[in-house]
Structure 1
Amino acid sequence: MASLSLPRVLNPRKTSLEIERENFEKTQAQALQKAINSNETPVKQKHVRSAIIGTFHTQSAKIFWAYALRLPAMDDRIVAWKLCHVVHKVLREGHPLCLVDSQRHKNDLDEIGKLWGHLKEGYGKMIRLYTTLLIYKLDFHRRNPRFPGHLGVTAEELESIAGNDINNYFQMTVEMFDYLDHVLDLQEAVFGSLNMARSNSMTMAGQCRLAPLIACIQDASKLYDYCVKIMFKLHMTLPPDILSGHRERFLKQFRVLKKFYESTSNLQYFKDLIAIPPLPENPPNFLIMGDFRTYVTQEVIVPQEPEHEEEPIVEGNLIDTTEEAPVHDTYNETMLIAAQEELIKEREFLRSQCEKFRHEINAVMRKNEKDVTKLRDKIGHLETELATKESELIQERQVKEDLLSQSFAVAQSQDSEQKVKNEKFDKLKELYVKLRNEHIQKIREKAEVEKKLSGALQTIQQLSELEKENDRLVEEEKQKYAELSALQKDKELFNMETEILKKSVMDACREKDNLKSEVATLLQEKEDIKKSSEELSYKLLDIERQLDRAQRDMQNQLKEMVIKCVESSENILKHAIEEVDNPALTALTCSPDYLRSLTNGCKESLHESTNVSSTNYSDIVTVANRLAHRHATYILQGRATCNTSPDISFGEKVAEACKVLGKIVLKLLSSLKRGENVEELAKEAKEKLEELATLADGISASLLGENAETLADMLDNEMSAMDKAIEEAANRIQDMLTRSRAADSGIKLEVNEKILDSCTTLMQAIRLLVQKSKFLQAEIVAQGRGSASTKEFYKRNHQWADGFISAAKAVAVAAKFLLSAADKVVINNGKLEQLVAAAQEIAASTAQLVVASRVKADRNSVNLQQLTQASKGVTTATGTVVATVKDCSELIDESEELDVSNLSLHQAKRLEMDSQVRVLELEKELEQERYRLAKLRKHHYQLAGENET
C-alpha cells in the first residue's frame, strides 16, 4: 500500500464541488459588500440581482444572512439603511424559502432599528420605521404563508387563501391595513428628510433615501388592490354599520397613498425606474356595488434591464419579402423544421425536468410528513408530561399550604400542651418524607432529617426551604413551556415551508401546461406563416409602388414649399423697399458706423447664395431667408442714416441707392427660386453695398464739421502734454529724494527713500508705456490711412481719436496727482493712502491708453506686443508702490507704538474711551468719503460722455 506524503495528509485537496461552493460564497460576499457600502448613493441593482440569484441557487437565504449580518450595520447608518433596502428586495424577489429562513432574523432587524431609533431625525427615524416594516412583513407571511414575497396572487388564489370565510376576510383586511400603515409611515419619513439644499431627487444623497420607495410602491399597490376587493366582499355580506371603522381607515389611507403616488411621480428620479398608475380622484364607494364593476386593477410597472440572452425565433425572420421566392421559401421551411425540432427537444427536456422535480418534491413531501409525525408525537409526549407536571405542582402547592397553616398553628400554640405540639410535628415529618420520596429527582437530597424540632422557628425555616425548591420547580416548568412554544414556532415555520413548496409544485405544473399550449400554438402559427408568406409578397410589391408615388408627391410638395418660402423672403424685402418712402421713418436715426458694421453680414449672405445647389432645398430656403432679413435691415438702417445728414439732397441720394440695392437683391431671389446662376447679380449687389458705405462715410464727415480738421493736432498736443507731465513728475521726484536725504534721517529718511524710489520706478514704466504707445499709434496710422493723409485718417476714425485723447489726458492728470501726493508725504504733510490712490489711478489711466491703442492694432504687431509688455510693467510698478506704502505704514506704526507700562487704571480707561471715540469718528468720515467718491465718479463719467459726443 503506497504511503501518502505528509503535505497531502495535512492539506487534502478540495473537491470541485467544494471549490465551486467557495467561489459562489465569495461572489455572494463581494456582491453584498458592493451593494451595501457606506457611500451615500443608491444601491446598484446589478449587485442586488446577484444576491437574489444566489438565493435561487441555494434555494434558501442562509448564505445571504450569514454575510449580511457581518456588515457594519450597527456602526454606519448608511449601511443599515441599504441593508434594509436589500433585505426588502430579497424578500420580494428572492426564492420563496427566503421568507422562512428570514423568520429567525427578526430579532437582528429589531436590534438595528432600536439602535438607530435613538436618532429621532434623518436616517435614524427612517431605519427604525423600515425595520418595523420588514418585521411586520415577515409576520404577515408567517400568518399567511400562501402569499408570495411580491404579494402577487390571482382572484381565485385570494379566495382560496381566505377559504371564502367572511371572518378570514375581516381579519385579513385588518392585517393589510396595518401593513399599508407601515409603508405610508416610512414614505412620509423619507420625504420629510429631503430638502432642496442638499438632499433632493437629483443628488446622490437624495436618491439613496428615495431608492427603497420603489419596493414600497410595489407592496402598496398590491395591498390597495386587495383591500378594495375584500372591502366590497365584506359589504356584500355584513351590515354597513359594522364596517364603518374599516371605511374610515381605508379613506384615510387612500388620501395619504394618493399624495404619495403624486409626490413620487413628480420626481425626475423615478421617471425611468417605475411607472405608477394614478389613483382615481374619488375613493370607491363600498355602499354602491356598481363601483365594484367599474373598478379596474392597475399594475405598477418596473422596467426590467435587458439581459444578454439568445434572441428567440420571431415571426419576422420567417417571412420572405424578396423577389427570389422559391429559394427563400425553402430556407423558411428549413428554419421552421429546425425550430420545430428544437421546440420538441426543449419540450422533452422540460418534461424530464418536471418528472425529476416531481420525484424530488415527493421525496421532500414524504420526509416532511415523517418530520411532522415525529413532531406531533413529541408534542403529544410533551403535552402529557406537562399535564403530569401540572398535577404534581398542584399537589405540591396543596402540601405547601397545609404545611404553612400547620406551622402557623404550631407557632400560635407554642405555649400550649407539649403533647399536641409533638403530634403535629410528627404529622409534618411524615408529610415531608412522603413529598421527598415522590419528587426524588426534582428535590435536593438530604442526608438526614433532624428527628426533633426545638421549636416553631426551626419548622418555619424548613418550610421556607421547601418553598424555594418549589420556585425552582416552577422555573423548570416555565422552561418546559418555552421549549414547547419554540417547537410550536418550528411547527408553524414547517407548515409555512410546506405551503410554499405546494405552491411551487402547482406553479411548475401550470408552467408545464403552458409550454404544451405554446408548442401547439407554434405549430399552428407555422401553418399560418406558410399561408401568409405569399400574401405578404404581393402586399410588398403594392407598397413599393405606393412608396414611389408618395416620393414623387413629396418632391413636388417640397418644390412648392421652397417657392413659397422664397416668395415670403421677397415680400419681406419688398416691404423694406416700400418703407424707404414712408414719411413716418423720418424721426428714425442711425449712426454711419453702425450701418458700415452691417455690410459684412450682407456680403456673407451674398457669397453664400453663389454656392447654393438647385437641388438642396434646405440651403435655398436658409440662404433666401438670410438674404431677405439682412438686406431688409440694411435698407431700413440706411434710410435712418439718411435722416442724420445735414444735406437733404445728399440724404435722398443715399435713400435712392438703398432702394436700388433692394431691387438687385429681389432679382437675385427670383433667380435663386428658378435655380439659375446668381453670381453676376451677387457681384452687382456687393458693388452697390460698397457704394452705400462710401456715401455713409460722407455723412459721417459732414457731421464732424470743423472739429475733424483739428483732431490730428489735438492728439499730438495731448500726447506731448502727457509726455511733458511725466517727464516733469520724474524730475520732481528726484529733487524731492535729494532734499529728503539732505534734511531727514532715521526712519523718516528710510520711509522717504523707499516711497520715492518706488515712485521713480513707476514713472519710468509709464514713460516706457507712452513711448511704445506712440510707436503703435504711428504704425496704426500708417497701415490705416492708405493713400490718404494723417488728418483724413483721424477724420474717418474720429471716435477712436477722441478716446485716445481722453486716455492721454487721464494719464497726465494721474501723474500730477501722484507727484502732489508724494510731495506731501515727503514734507510730512500728506497721507500714505493718497499715494496708493494715485498709483491705482495711474494704472487705470494707462490701461485706458492701452485699450485705445489696441482697438485698431494688428493682433500680430510687434509694437502691440511691446506695448502689452510695458503695460504689465506699469502694473508691477503700481503693485510695488502699494506694497511699499504698506511696509512704510507698518514701520511708522511700530516706531510710534504706545508705551502703556506707566499708565494707571484711570489713565488707561481714559485713553481707551478716547480711542473708541476716534474709531467712531473715522468710521463716519470713511462712510462720508465713500459717498463723496461715488458722486465724483458719477460726475466724471457724465463729463467724459459729453466730451466724446
Structure 2
Amino acid sequence: MEVHYPSRPVDREKAEHDLALNIKKATSPDETAPKQKHVRKCIVYTWDYHTSESIWIGLKVAPILTDEVQTFKALITVHKIIRGGHPNTLKEAQNQTWLETCARTATGDGMRGYGTLIRAYVDFLRAKLTYHRHHPEFNGNFDYEDYISLKNVDDPNEGYETISELMKLQDQIDQFQKLVFAHFRQSSNNECRIAALVPLVEESHAIYKFLTNMLRAMHRRTESIDALTPLRTRYNAQHYGLIKFYYECSNLKYLTSLITVPKLPQDPPSLIDGGTSLLTKHPQQKSSASSSFSDPEPITEFWKENEAQKQQDLERQRLLYEEQQKQLAQQREMELQSQRMKELQRQRELEEQQRIQQERERLARDQLMREQMQRHAEGRVAELERELLNMKNNFERGQMMLEQYDRRVKGLEIEMSQLNLHAQQQIKSKDEMIKNLQDQLLMWRNKYEALAKLYSQLRQEHLELINKFKNAQLKANSAQEAIDKMERMERDMRAKNLELADMIRERDRSRHELDRLKSSQREDLERAKRDLNEANSRVEELSRSKNNEISSLMSRFNKEKQELEDSLMSKQSFVDDLLRQLEEKKNEIERVAQEKDDEIAIMQSAVDQSMTLVAQMQQSTTESERYQARIDNLMFDHLKDMNEILDSIFQTCIQKIDDSLYELESPMQTGNQNATPEYTLSMIEKATTECSEFSYAFQKFLKSGRSNNHTEVIKSATNFSQAIADVLINAKGITRLSGEDDEISEEIVGIAKITANMSQKFLLNVQSFKLDDLSPSKRSDVVLQSDMDVQTALQTLSKVTEGLLRHTLDVTKKADGEVGNLVEQEMLHAAQVIKAAMERIQTLMSRPRDVGLSAHELNVHDAILESALAVTNAIANLIKCATDSQEEIVAQGRGTSSHAAFYKKNNRWTEGLISAAKAIALATNLLIETADGVIHKTHNLEQLIVASNEVAAATAQLVAASRVKADFMSKTQDRLETASKAVTEACKALVKAVKTIAAKQFEQNEAAIDYSKLTRHEYKVTEMEQQVEILKLEKELTNARRKLAEIRKHGYHDEEEED
C-alpha cells in the first residue's frame, strides 16, 4: 500500500505520538464524554495520511478493555472516526476484530452498568460496517449527493433493496438509543451515556434525509405506487420514532450544548408529489443553511486543499459516464427498432385472436344470460315455497307459545292463592302470640304489685323490730354493750388491715413492675448506646478510606442517635413523674389507714389510678419497642452498606489477582528475574499464613453475625490478595531456572494458575450475595473448604518449587542454638567479606604506580578502583541496615519465644535470608577479584560488568527477603531500601565507567585501520572475515546462554557441600 503524506508540513513521528496521546485522553477512565478536540485530531490524522491503521493499533495496545467506561468511550470515539474519517477508514474498519473483543470482555451488566450498552453498541457498529461492505458507494455520513455522484441507480429493485436495508439500520439505531435512555442513572453522571447519543442523532438524521430523497425518486420512477406501500408505512413509523427520539434529546442540556437537535414536522413529508427524481441525475448542491441539522464537529477546513483535485476527478468521471450513456443509448435505439417491428407483427396477430375471442365471448355471454334467467325463475319459486313453509311453522310455534303462556298463568294463579293462604295463617298465629304475651305481661305485673306490697309490709315490720331491738339493747347492761362494740371494732380493724395489706402488696407489685421497666429501659439504653459507640468506631475506621460514601450515612445515623437520646430523656423524665406520683399514692394510702370513713372511696381511687399508670407504662413500653425497631432498621441498613463495601473490596482483591494472573500467562512478561526458589518458598509460606489469617478473621466475622470485625476482614483480605499476587510474579520468575525443560516451567505456571483460581474462588464464595442463600453452618463450611483448597494448591506449588533446589538447607532439622548462630554467622560472614574487600581495594589503590603503564591506563585503573570502592562501601552500609532490619523483624515477630524458635517457625524465610547473605558475600568477592584481574590484565572489562550485575541482583534478593516479614512503615526497612538504591546506583556507575573505557579502546583500535586504502579484494576478504566472526560469536552466544541456564538450574548447593 502506497504511503500518503499530507500537503501541509507535519512530522509523522510527532503525529503518531500525538495520536497515541489523543486516544489515551479520549478513552480516559473518567465517566465523562470523550473530548471533541481529541476525537477531531484523530479524524484529522486519517485525512492527513489516508489511513487509520495507527488508530486501531493504539486502541489494541491501550489497556481500555479492563474498564467498562474506557471501553464504552472507545466505541464512541470509533463511531465518530468512522463517520468523519477518510473513506479508507471504513474499508480498514471492516477488517478489524477489535469490536468482537470488546463484546467478549463485557460480561453481564458490569460494575457500573455499561456491559449491556457495550454489547449493543458493538452490534450496531458491526451492522453499520456490514452495510458499508455490501454498499461501498455510501460514505460514513450517508451523504446522498456523494452517493448519486458515485453510483447511478436505474434498477428500481436495487433501489428497493437498498432502502430496505437502510431502514433496518435505522431500526437498530432506534433500538440502541432506547437502550441508552433506559440505562440512565439518577445517582450518577450520565455524561458518558449522553455522549453516545451525539453520533446517533447525526447518523439517524442523515439516514432519514437519504431515505426521504430516495423514496421520492422511487415514486417518480415507479408507476405502481402500491408496490412501495410497505416502504412508506415503515418510513412513517420511523418518522414518528425520530420525532420522539429528538424530543427526548432536546431535553438534555449537555447534548444540546454539543449539537443542534433536528426538528422534524409533526406529520411525515409527502413522498409522492414532493422532490424530483434523483436516481439518474446528480443532485444540486444544498446550502448548509437549509438543513435543520448542524454538524458539531466540522472537519472540512482541514482538507479543502484537495477540493480542486476532487472536482477534476469528478468532471472526468462525469464525461466518461456521459460517453458510456451515449453508447448505451445507441444500442438501446437499435434494439428498440427491432423490437418495434416484432411488436407490430405480434400486434396484428393479437388483433385477429382478439376478434375471434370476442365473438366466442359474446355467444358465451348470451348462453350464460339465458341460463341465469332460468336459474333465477327456479330460485324465485323455491324461495316462495320456503317462505310459505316458514309462515306455517311460525303459526304452529305461536299456537304452542299461547298454550304454554296459558299454563304458566294458571300455575301463577295457584301459587298466588297458596301464598295468600299462608300469609293469613302467619298473621293469625302472630295475633295469638301477641295476645298470649299481653296476658303474661298482665300476670307478671300483678305479681310485681303483690310483691311490692309484701315488701313494704315486711320493711315496715323490720323497722318496727329494729326499734324494738334498739330498746332492748339500751336496756342491756353496759358491759355487754362495750364488749360487743369492742369486738365489732376489732373485726372492722382486721378487715381494714387486710384491705390495707392488699393495697400495700399492690403498691409493692406496681413499684417492682416499675423498677423492672426502668432497669429494662436502662439496659436497652445502655445497649443502644454501646451499639451506637461500636458503630461509630467502625464507621470512623472506615471513613479514612470511604469518606465520601459514609459521610451521608454518618450524618443520618447521628441525627437518629440524637432523636433517640432525646426520646430516652423524655421517657426518663416521664418515669420520674411516675415515681413521684407513686410516692404521692403511698402517702394517700397511709392517710387511708387513718381515715376509716373515706378509706373505701380512696382505695378505689388509688386502684383506678394505679391501673392508669400501668396502662401508661405499657404504652411507654410500646414506644420503646418502636424505637428499638427503628434502631434495628438503622443497624440493618448500616450492615447492608458495610457488606456492599466489603463485597467491593473482595472484588478489588479478585481483580488484583486477575492482573497478576494475566502477567503469569502473558509470554511478554518474565516475572521477577531476581527471584530464587528460596525467596519464592518464603513468599508461598507468607501466602499460606495470610490465607489462614483471612479464614480466621472471616470465621470470627461470621460468628459476630457479620456486624463486627469489618476492619480485620478487609486488612486480611488485602494482605491475602497481595501475597497471592507476589507468589504468581515470583513463580513466573523462577521458571527461567528450569533451563530447556519446558515441562517443569509449564507445571509451575499451571499450578500457580490453579492457586490463583482457587484464591479468586475463595474471595468470591465469601461475598454476601453468595452467603445470604446459605445457613450459618454451611457458611462456615464454605469458608473452611475454600481455605483448604487454597492451602492445598499452595502446598503443591511449594513442592514443585522445591524440585528446583538441588540441595536445600532444612533449618527445621537444626537445633535451636545452631539455627540462631547460623543466621548471625552468615550476616557476620558477609560483613567480614565486605570489610576484607574494602581493605583489598585500599591496598590496590595505595600500591606504587607501575612505570611501564601509560597515563591513560593509570587513569583507567584508578577509575575502576574508585567505582569498586564505592560499591563495597554501599554494600557495607546495606549489610548493616539488613542486620538491623532482621533484628527488628525477629524482635517483633517472636513474641515470648526465642530467636531460634522464630527462625525455625519461619524456616522458608530463614533459608531465603541465608541464601541472600551468601549471594552478597559471593558476589562481592567476585567483583573484587574481577577488578584486580582487570588491573593485572587477567580479566576483561565484560567480566567486570557481569560481576557488577551479580552484586545488584544479590542486593535485590536480600532486600526482597527482608521485605517479606517487615512491618508497614518500618524505619529500618526504609533505611534498607535506601541502602539498596545506593548499591544499585554505585553498580550502575561502575558499569558506565567500564563501558566508557571499552568504547575508548574500541575507537583507538579502529583508528589504526584505514579501510579507504584497502583494495577491492582486501575489502571483500575483510568483510567476509567479519561475517564469519559474527556467526561464530552468535553460535558461542547461544551455547553460552544454554550453559548459563543449566548452571542456574543446578547452581543452588548446600553450604556444607561447598565447604
Q: TM-score interval w.r.t. the shorter chain?
A: 0.3 to 0.5
TM-score (norm 1): 0.35
